[in-house]
Amino acid sequence: MNYAHLRAFHAVATEGGFTRAAAALGVTQPTLSAQVKALEDGYGIALFDRRGRGIVTTTLGRQLLDVTRRLFLLEDEARELLARAHALATGHLRVSADGPYHVVPFLAAFAKRYPAVHISLAIGNSEEVLNALLHYQADVAVVAELEDDPRLETILCAENRLVVFVPRQHPWARRRGIRLADLEGQPMVLRELGSMTRRLFERATAKARVKPRVFMEIESREAVREAVAAGLGIGVVSEPEFGNDERLVSVPVMDGDLVLREYVVCLKERRKLRIVAALLDLVRQEFS
């Protein structure tokens, strides 16, 4: 079995296409295609279904991907073991987070401690962030309200209550707080269904038997803020994420289980990788 052929297959399967895989490996696409074809022809099997310009991994291909993930994880661990002597003088930390507010302080402290490490940060909703971690597209995730999962190593790093926010001219802008019952029938501007903020809010209103009216659904915190400022409805956000916007006023919700818990997370099988362990240690020491 040819190692380069396995590496080529693994890259295509994880990157989702030949073009991105070739770029990731630093080879030409014809070279990569020939390596995958050689693997398939050598065993008389199909690892990908070619559909126009796209590909879909076959059942056998998915089974092989489970094997190559373990294989190259061991390779990564060997590489990390040898690199520890360099005290993270090089490296690339990939982080996925459901917002910048909790993760940026971690990364600032990490960058100060390990200035030579390159950091990339992707922002998405909670569902997207967790998927990135589980599909090996991120080394560490910062995400809210995790369900128990034996695959994950978690550290609780923050607990914040949700608030609603309204335009400054809204009648609620002068109130010290509201109750969930006040939201009955009120027009709401909410994040998409994958948002943990929305999930927590709707769970609390359902428990209280309150039915706000979802007037608008938006896949961006910034867009939600603009829609609320324009008077299109009432928004919901965790208190630290409200920020400073003179057009808007945050209003505490006085009842309901509206505490959003934020976690730093990695795959247990990757927690001993040096770069992952370094970030987790820092979080435990300074932020948990």
Fold of the domain built from segment(s) 158-260: D-Maltodextrin-Binding Protein; domain 2 (3.40.190)
Q: For residue 287, count CB atoms less than 10 angstroms from its CB and return exposed for 0-12, middle for 13-18, buried for 19 or more.
A: middle
Measured in degrees and rounded to the nearest 5, phi and psi for residue 153 equal -100, 125
pLDDT higher than threshold 70 for residue 130: yes
| pLDDT confidence of residue 184 | 97
Is the pLDDT at 177 greater than 90? The verdict is yes
Kindly report the pTM of this predicted structure.
0.69
d(CA 89, CA 277): 15
Q: At 216, list the tokens.
A: 């608008």
Distance CA 216, CA 127 (A): 20
CATH annotation of 86-157+262-286: 3.40.190.10
86-109: average pLDDT: 88
> Is the distance from CB of 99 to CB of 221 less than 8 angstroms?
yes
- As given in the structure block, the two tokens for residue 264 are 């730093």
CB neighbour list of residue 252: distance below 8 Å, 6 or more residues apart: 161, 163, 176, 177, 178
DSSP state letter for 178: B
Task: Report the pLDDT value the prediction gives residue 233, as an integer from 0 to 100.
Answer: 97
Does the structural domain 3-84 have CATH classification 3.90.1150.10?
no
Q: Is the pLDDT of residue 84 over 90?
A: no
Ramachandran angles phi, psi of 144, nearest 5°: -100, 150
**Tokens matching residue 226:** 């603009």
By CB neighbour count within 10 A (0-12 exposed, 13-18 middle, 19+ buried), where does 195 fall? buried
What is the mean predicted confidence (pLDDT) over 101-127?
92
- Would you list the domain boundaries of the chain? 3-84, 86-157+262-286, 158-260
* pLDDT for position 146: 85
pLDDT, average across residues 72-96: 83
Look at residue 168 and give its three-state secondary structure: coil
What single-letter amino acid sits at 226? E
pLDDT for 225: 94
The pLDDT-based confidence of 109 (bands split at 50, 70, 90) is: very high
pLDDT single digits (tens) 274-284: 899 999 999 99
Average pLDDT over residues 204-230: 94
What local confidence, expressed as pLDDT, does residue 85 receive? 54
